Amino acid sequence: MRSYKEHLILSGSSIKQALSVLNDLSLDAILFVVDKNEKLIGSITDGDVRRGFLNNFTLDSVIDTIIQPKPRFIRKGYYDVQKIIKYREENFRIIPVLNDNDVVVNVINFRHIKSYLPIDAVIMAGGRGQRLQPLTDNTPKPLLKVGDKPIMEHNLDRLTLFGIDDFWVSVNYLGEQIKNYFGHGKKKNINIEYVWENEPLGTIGAVSQVRNFKHDYILVTNSDLLTNIDYEHFFLEFIKQEADLAVLTIPYQVTIPYAVLETEKGEVKSFKEKPTYTYYSNGGIYLMKKEMLTFIPQDKFFNATDLMEELIHNNKKIISFPFSGYWLDVGKHEDFEKAQNDINNIKFV
């Protein structure tokens, strides 16, 4: 993956230098001109260079004389996803992301990502993986390979595909292996920080240890899931329903092979012949407003189901997001074998 810094060029550089970099960028030929602190000044494309030559500028002229001074940009942590969708639909493919000081901290490219969601993601990767022993005796479950890369990397790449670039990974068992493999995310143009569980804190308890979330929305997911969920659709539905927390749910249909009587105080009122009922199971992916984190106690074993019960008790709005696409919890040997068979037939990125 191309580093976003390949799109940056220092103010005062020559047009010849800019042309060389634009040539290397090929289909992604746009540069963002920055000062020595990487603060955005303007942008430059092949078209700007051609117009410069028509105005008698030369290869040795400085790029500041031909730049576009007010390029479109996204403000980190302060944007509406509808604005992102509009940029995408209007075919603005490559857009810089600025922090509060106008410093370029990323460059998004819609040739490589589907969206740019205003979400921080927490990946829970501290489990022992006992049901997958002996595979997990020396390798943490998130690093078990499905196809050509670890389970967790499939998960991470799916989230990154929707523009999520701020990650926290909760680790415990063999956590150093996970940290050594992913590092701090530089190779993927993302930022990864680690939350160390000195003792197990449940399926969501470790989230309480994060103090520096960048966005107002937090996504928490298990590390051992394989799914092709559209995270933009998930987020838009969450916003549309004005939810406090959304949980991905997996529908299961149960068919009763007999007629089912519907009774009231022992009296038969009606019956259904071989009915099918649909139930919804917890899919292990949660999206919430950041303020919901105040309901997670500090340094205490706490499951996501405990959080949902607490939110219900406090009259918060929890919605179900039924999902009928591909979803697999790789928790047992038979699940791991299924994942190996499915990986070449399901499009994850």
Question: How confident is the model over 210-243, as pLDDT tens digits?
Answer: 989 999 999 999 999 999 999 999 999 999 999 9
Residue 117 lies in a domain: no
- pLDDT attached to residue 12: 94
Residue 229 lies in a domain: yes
- pLDDT attached to residue 319: 97
List pLDDT tens digits, range 250-276: 998 889 888 888 888 888 888 888 888
Residue 133 lies in a domain: no
pLDDT (mean) for 98-124: 95
List pLDDT tens digits, range 281-314: 999 999 999 999 999 999 899 999 999 999 999 9
pTM of the model: 0.89
Domain span at 211:
140-342
Q: What is the mean pLDDT of the chain?
A: 93
Residue 275 lies in a domain: yes
- pLDDT attached to residue 339: 93
Same domain, 313 and 215: yes
pLDDT (mean) for 57-67: 93
Same domain, 100 and 235: no
pLDDT (mean) for 189-198: 93
- pLDDT attached to residue 266: 84
Same domain, 103 and 185: no
Question: In this predicted model, which residue has the larger pLDDT, 72 or 345?
Answer: 72
Residue 115 lies in a domain: no
Residue 36 lies in a domain: yes
Residue 123 lies in a domain: no
Same domain, 155 and 268: yes
Give the closest residue to 81 by CA, choosing from 122, 44, 42, 119. 119
> How would residue 348 be classed by pLDDT, with cut points 50, 70 and 90?
low
Same domain, 172 and 271: yes
CATH number for the domain spanning 95: value is 3.10.580.10
> How would residue 349 be classed by pLDDT, with cut points 50, 70 and 90?
low
- Residue where a domain terminates, one of 68, 92, 109: 109
Same domain, 194 and 283: yes
Exposure on the CB side of residue 117, measured as CA atoms within 13 A: 26
- What value does the CA radius of gyration of the chain take, rounded to a whole number of Å? 25
d(CA 225, CA 240): 26
Same domain, 105 and 144: no
Same domain, 66 and 164: no
- Asked if 256 contacts 277 with a C-beta cutoff of 8 angstroms, the reply is yes
Q: Phi, psi at residue 225, to the nearest 5°?
A: -100, 140
Same domain, 187 and 48: no
CATH number for the domain spanning 316: value is 3.90.550.10
How many domains does the chain divide into? 2
Same domain, 190 and 299: yes
Long-range contacts of 141-146 (CB under 8 A, 24+ apart): 141/223, 141/224, 141/330, 142/178, 142/223, 142/224, 143/177, 143/178, 143/181, 144/330, 144/336, 146/226, 146/330, 146/336, 146/339, 146/340, 146/343
pLDDT over 70 (residue 20): yes
Residue 134 lies in a domain: no
Q: For strand 166-171 and strand 119-124, is the pairing parallel, antiparallel, or unpaired?
A: parallel
Same domain, 237 and 160: yes
Same domain, 101 and 44: yes
- pLDDT attached to residue 48: 93
High-pLDDT (> 70) share of the chain, %: 99
| CB atoms closer than 10 angstroms to residue 125 | 30
